[in-house]
Structure 1
Amino acid sequence: MAGLASKLAQMQAKACEATRFAAKHGCAYHRTLMEKNKKYVADPPTIEKCQELSTQLFYTRLASLPGRYESFWKEMDQVKNVWRNRKDLNVEHAGVAALFGVELYAWFCAGEIIGRGFTLTGYYV
């Protein structure tokens, strides 16, 4: 119990230090960040403009769906073609497919760990 209390005190001290740093340097950082990226700021920067841009983004993504759908089926046709000609596969192609499968599994595991709050067991201590 004492170990947990000392960890809590350390976390509080670090949080206070981070808050002081942000309070001291936050405005200057914000100013330089906005100056560097002013070409991305919509004029005038109002709530209405943000809502308009949000709507544009939504419908632009919606408009891209047919192209994505077509690309998906082209890739599926390539996979079907490779499966039909699997006798012609060489070690390199099999290795690339295996590495791809391992990478997918690793991303799945990482997503599970992140989803559980960066715990390996899923339980909070």
Structure 2
Amino acid sequence: MASKLVQLQNKAAVASQFVTKHGCAYYKQLLEQNKQYIQEPATVEKCSELSKRLFYTRLASIPGRYESFWKEVDLVKQKLKNRQDLKVEEVGVGVLFALECYAWSCVGEIVGRGFTLTGYYV
């Protein structure tokens, strides 16, 4: 156990040295590549304005997303009406989607209980 701790400390030291040597250069390169997104001057007022723009832009996009959602629901209804015309691939994707939703529900329950595996999921 102690040898694994020493190995972990050595790896952490190597990673720290790498970040120390190359971190500043990476930071500068990243800023240079994305300088068109940087707002000058970076004031509190400008940041507040940009966050409000983002919020209200997202808010304005809700009707379009709402419409797209109902188009998708109508498409699923049409597919269910014509079940005999479904391909195996479409059924497989639907089943995998349902399993994924169920799995996320189970994970959410486990997380909500504080990562304990008790109850009806075990």
Q: What CA deviation, in whole Å up to 9, does each residue of 1:77-122 have, x standing for no partner?
A: 11112112213324343234334445x359839xx4xx97xxxxx5
Aligned to 1:49: 46
- The aligned counterpart of 1:108 is 104
The answer for unaligned runs of 5 or more in structure 1 is: 117-121
Q: 1:89 aligns with which of 86, 91, 100?
A: 86
Gaps of 5+ in 2: 117-122
Q: CA deviation at 1:60?
A: 1.1
| 1:49 Cα deviation after fit | 2.2
TM-score (norm 1): 0.68
- Corresponding letter in the other structure for 2:16: T
Which has the higher mean CA deviation after the structures are superposed, 21-30 or 64-73? 21-30
Q: How far is 1:64 from its partner? A: 1.0
Counting aligned pairs with the same residue, the percent is 55
Deviations 1:26-75 (A, max 9, x none): 22221111111111111112333223222211121111111111111111
SS at match of 1:93: helix
Which residue of 71, 85, 91 maps to 2:68?
71
Alignment length, in residue pairs? 112
Bigger mean CA deviation after superposition, 71-80 or 40-49: 40-49
Of structures 1 and 2, the one scoring higher in RCO (CA 8 A, sep 6+) is 2
Quote the Cα distance in structure 2 between the aligned partners of 1:54 and 1:31. Answer: 25
- Aligned counterparts of 1:70 and 1:100: Cα–Cα separation in 2: 22
RMSD of aligned residue pairs (Cα, Å): 3.1
